[in-house]
């Protein structure tokens, strides 16, 4: 067998067997019965990576730069992660992860209760462009008869103002509108004549704007925005569940400034939050992190308005958390006959399979109300437990989740599905384990996790497997420390003579009995019992034998290292 055939055979039968080095992302080799090695296709990999991470496609010049060079491709991926477009890609990813969308009427729950449109009124403007005549863009009182489109004054009296939602655009208003709403109209609520168009308008790029639509849109994706801001700052991904950490964009800050209309006490905003972010303009659509201090009822993304209001019931919140952040499903065999009065679902046969877990998990959300009583129906903290750990609020629950390996593993699964377009196959368990361990080792850097996946042979190879995974991996187990054990189980009993001695030629050029260069002898079983553990560590680090390009992940050095590791463990 020649050298090419030898490595090809090794490649076909090998899986990822080691954690990536923390100082440099080494390639992990994946070959399974489901994914056939086809060699690198850097052009296709570049196209996929650039589109997924930056939302653009490569030019001919960019293809030419990358060519078939692995180093150039890796540099390109690193550039994608540092590009401003990565924000939008990451936000879309997290919108899918957390879910978005709120009912149009949800924001009305936060309106001040003392507004009756008679005694206490709120200034509202309706804005649109005239269909004929001078075709000016005009804003007038919403209560005004819109037949003439001129408000309450002659056109000759109208004054031009620059609107706050579209800098540089001029709107025409009556003097009393400018006096009441300010020179940029920011002191009044804006209504647009076409609600559907307003809901889909992008802030800062169009004259179309509606206060309710813009604020609802931002609040609905606040959880995704918080996670995205954590990623962009390259903070540990565990911060997405940090108590006291929230995120705001221009629309949310604008909403907080409308105290004449919205009741901030209903929003449960931390004191002084609006002051902390007072300089953010409405058209700043990127979410920014704000730390308002630890609060036992807060858990980062889980305590945002969008998450709590979208998933209205505590059981629903618990179920969504279980699925989206731990990649686990509540499943149980149904009883043949449902009891008329099931009583305590946590102990009732046929019900307890799910409810014995979901109900205690839901108890952590009891500091928040349900449905439209989000901020008024709280029952106070309820002592509960999850995964055999106790707590009494969302902050405690977040700490339990963040310190469980299932959270890191689930993050790896989501990122893998995003980039690869499929889940893990059952025989890719070692790859999932290695990526999870690496994710924890790099301090939960989501950027580094994405880099490791986008530069992995499975992503770069020319042919990809079918996106339908018919034999998926099991759910991440609960109750394990983050990172887990990266050593593979020893598949057989290792014999020194048969399994180690034939491979020692890689090392015994220097490490032989009587050598004159001060190297330890490891040529015999007796000597290997003394120096075996140190030899394993040196081979794993890439320091032995000389000339390695980083820690070995496949090939003769890897095989020797694993044989010695298992032999040492089996012969204490």
Which tens digit of pLDDT belongs to each residue from 29-79? Answer: 333 334 444 578 899 999 999 999 999 999 998 898 887 788 899 999 999
CA distances from 495 to 10, 395, 456 (A): 21, 52, 34
3-class secondary-structure state, position 311: coil
The C-alpha atoms of residue 514 and residue 255 are separated, in whole angstroms, by 80
The C-alpha atoms of residue 310 and residue 334 are separated, in whole angstroms, by 28
The C-alpha atoms of residue 247 and residue 228 are separated, in whole angstroms, by 10
Indicate the angle between helix axes 70-82 and 85-98, nearest 10 degrees. 70
Q: What is the pLDDT of residue 85?
A: 96
Contacts of 209 (CB under 8 A, 6+ apart): 127, 163, 165, 166, 190, 192, 198, 201, 203
Q: What is the pLDDT of residue 6?
A: 39
Q: What is the pLDDT of residue 24?
A: 38
Pairing of strands 384-386, 170-173: unpaired
**Rg of the chain, C-alpha, whole Å:** 30
Contacts of 129 (CB under 8 A, 6+ apart): 135, 136, 137, 138, 207
Average pLDDT per block of 10 residues along the chain, 572 residues long = 39 35 37 51 92 95 84 93 96 94 80 67 82 84 57 83 90 92 90 87 88 91 96 95 92 85 74 72 90 89 90 91 90 61 65 76 87 73 85 92 94 95 88 90 92 90 58 74 64 87 84 76 88 84 71 72 89 86
Q: Are 215 and 251 in contact (CB under 8 A)?
A: yes
Which tens digit of pLDDT belongs to each residue from 192-221? Answer: 888 889 888 888 888 899 998 999 999 999
DSSP H or E segment with residue 289: strand 288-291
If DSSP states are collapsed to H, E and C, what string results for 405-444?
A: HHHHHHHHHHHHHHHHCCCCEHHHHHHHHHHHHHHHHCCC
3-class secondary-structure state, position 138: strand
CA-wise closest residue to 525 among 556, 499, 553, 486: 499
Contacts of 318 (CB under 8 A, 6+ apart): 358, 359, 361, 362, 364, 365
Q: What is the pLDDT of residue 370?
A: 83
Q: What is the DSSP letter of 516?
A: S
The C-alpha atoms of residue 240 and residue 232 are separated, in whole angstroms, by 12
- How deeply is 203 buried, as exposed, middle or buried, from its count of CB atoms within 10 A (0-12, 13-18, 19+)? buried
CA-wise closest residue to 171 among 159, 155, 154, 157: 159
Phi, psi of 139 (to 5 degrees): -125, 130
Which tens digit of pLDDT belongs to each residue from 134-174? Answer: 888 989 888 754 444 445 688 889 999 999 999 888 999 99
DSSP H or E segment with residue 320: helix 314-324
Q: Which residues pair with 247 in a beta bridge?
A: 289
Q: How many CB atoms lie within 10 A of CB 350?
A: 17
3-class secondary-structure state, position 326: coil
The C-alpha atoms of residue 48 and residue 71 are separated, in whole angstroms, by 17
The 10 Å CB-count burial string (b at 16+, else e) for 254-288 is bbbebeebbebeebbbbeebbeebeebbbbbbbbb
Q: What pTM did the predictor assign?
A: 0.75
DSSP H or E segment with residue 290: strand 288-291
CA distances from 51 to 47, 184, 433, 457 (A): 6, 38, 27, 18
Please tell me the total number of residues recorded for the chain in this structure.
Answer: 572
The C-alpha atoms of residue 563 and residue 406 are separated, in whole angstroms, by 30
Q: Which residues pair with 160 in a beta bridge?
A: 172
Q: Are 192 and 208 in contact (CB under 8 A)?
A: yes
Half-sphere exposure of 456 (CA within 13 A, CB side): 26
Q: What is the DSSP letter of 497?
A: I
The C-alpha atoms of residue 190 and residue 207 are separated, in whole angstroms, by 12
Q: Which residues pair with 138 in a beta bridge?
A: 128, 172
If DSSP states are collapsed to H, E and C, what string results for 179-210?
A: HHHCCCCCCCEEEECCHHHHHCCCCCCCCCCC
């Amino acid at each position: 067998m020649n050298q090419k055939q030898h490595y090809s055979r090794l490649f076909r039968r090998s899986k990822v067997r080691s954690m990536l080095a923390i100082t440099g992302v080494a390639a992990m080799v994946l070959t399974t019965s489901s994914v056939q090695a086809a060699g690198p296709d850097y052009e296709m990999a570049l196209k996929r990576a650039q589109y997924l991470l930056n939302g653009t496609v490569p030019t001919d010049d960019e293809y030419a730069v990358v060519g078939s060079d692995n180093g150039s491709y890796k540099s390109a991926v690193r550039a994608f992660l540092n590009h401003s477009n990565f924000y939008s890609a990451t936000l879309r990813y997290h919108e899918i992860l957390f879910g978005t969308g709120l009912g149009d009427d949800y924001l009305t729950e936060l309106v001040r209760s003392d507004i009756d449109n008679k005694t206490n009124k709120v200034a509202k403007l309706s804005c649109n462009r005239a269909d004929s005549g001078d075709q000016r863009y005009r804003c007038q009182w919403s209560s005004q008869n819109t037949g003439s489109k001129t408000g309450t004054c002659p056109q000759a009296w109208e004054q031009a103002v620059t609107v706050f939602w579209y800098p540089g655009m001029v709107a025409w208003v009556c003097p009393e509108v400018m006096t009441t709403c300010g020179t940029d109209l920011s002191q009044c609520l804006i209504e647009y004549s076409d609600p559907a168009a307003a809901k889909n308008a992008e802030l800062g790029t169009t004259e179309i704007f509606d206060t309710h639509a813009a604020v609802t849109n931002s609040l609905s994706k606040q959880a995704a925005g918080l996670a995205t801001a954590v990623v962009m700052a390259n903070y540990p991904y565990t911060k997405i569940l940090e108590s006291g950490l929230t995120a705001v964009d221009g629309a949310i800050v604008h909403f907080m400034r409308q105290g004449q209309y919205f009741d901030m006490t209903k929003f449960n905003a931390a004191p002084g939050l609006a002051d902390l972010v007072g300089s953010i303009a409405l058209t700043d659509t990127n979410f920014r992190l704000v730390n308002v201090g630890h609060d036992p009822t807060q858990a980062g993304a889980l305590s945002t308005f969008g998450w709590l209001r979208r998933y209205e019931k505590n059981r629903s919140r618990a179920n969504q958390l279980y699925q989206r952040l731990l990649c686990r499903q509540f499943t149980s065999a149904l009883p043949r006959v449902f009891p008329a009065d099931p009583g305590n679902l946590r102990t009732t046969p046929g019900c307890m399979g799910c409810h014995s877990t979901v109900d205690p998990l839901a108890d952590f959300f009891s500091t928040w109300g349900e449905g439209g009583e989000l901020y008024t129906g709280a029952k106070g903290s309820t002592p509960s437990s999850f995964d055999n750990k106790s707590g009494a609020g969302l902050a405690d629950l977040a700490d339990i989740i963040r310190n469980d390996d299932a959270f890191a593993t689930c993050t790896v699964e989501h990122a893998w599905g995003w980039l690869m377009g499929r889940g893990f196959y059952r025989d890719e368990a070692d790859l999932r384990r290695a990526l999870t361990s690496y994710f924890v080792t790099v301090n939960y850097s989501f950027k580094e996790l994405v880099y490791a996946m986008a530069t992995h042979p499975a992503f770069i190879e020319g042919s990809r497997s079918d996106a339908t995974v018919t034999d998926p991996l099991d759910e991440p187990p609960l109750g394990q420390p983050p990172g887990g054990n990266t050593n593979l189980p020893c598949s057989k009993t290792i014999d020194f003579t048969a399994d180690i001695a034939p491979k020692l030629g890689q090392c015994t050029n220097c490490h032989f009995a009587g050598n004159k260069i001060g190297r330890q002898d490891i040529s015999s079983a007796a000597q290997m019992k003394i120096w075996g553990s140190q030899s394993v560590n040196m081979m794993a680090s890439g320091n032995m034998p000389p000339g390695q390009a980083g820690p070995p992940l496949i090939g003769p050095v890897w095989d020797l290292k694993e044989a010695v590791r298992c032999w040492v463990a089996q012969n204490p």
